[in-house]
Structure 1
């Protein structure tokens, strides 16, 4: 069994490992400070894409605890997701609210949560899930349409 260590430097100290959500918040906060210091409002418009969720716990859409997106072929009906938002999305919203410069959130999270069928896991012929990728028509197409609409209205 291979052991991987993730070394993270924070405030001049090197950590062998760190809680992933804490590391995400630190990285996003560093990015937000850079944007606040370097953003040129006259020339550019800034966007931040929300969190692409995983579908690893079927209880979130009222299925069994062991159910994942593996084999899912239908979307969730409605406009609300029965489970919680990914914790990283809460971090994104917190950090963006503290920024002094305007950054538009391309919030793809909710519509992506509703597409538990949008992962390629049932089509790739491999065992297991691949929730970091979206290969079916729908999720990415919608993300692009939202971005186009935001760009068109600026």
Structure 2
């Protein structure tokens, strides 16, 4: 049974009804509508913590979706799932794919930076200072890109960039 027929709460049902109406009237091909339905079901499953089901839906959406911008959001969400499961390398792969398709996706840039920063902290704890510095520098570059796209976001990252001397900019907004 499709996820859209299983939603129990009012908000999910309302979203599903609205999405179904939009799908019916939206001037899109059958393939595009089917890709969106899988994406919608993936988002619903992800919101409920059903990550395996969400990934299955996202993978199916990727096979159907042809628009790079839409594909970037699917890949981004797949990265979120892997990051939440502690699979940082896999998450990085999905975030990088998302950014390759859509370089104006600040949330993916931010998440890449967060993982690199985390890896830098781990390297520092292990006494690998030069490796830590390289990871911190790489994180800084991704945070700067994210901040340039969304200057009112990522305040903690902005503060970290300033306090570590990695900013290279006086002000972002």
Structure 1 and Structure 2 fold alike (TM over 0.5)? no
Query: Which structure's residues are more often strand, by fraction?
Result: 1
TM-score range, shorter-chain basis? under 0.3
RCO higher in 1 or 2 (8 Å CA, sep ≥ 6)?
Answer: 1
In the superposition, the TM-score normalised over structure 2's length comes to 0.24
Query: Which structure's residues are more often helix, by fraction?
Result: 2
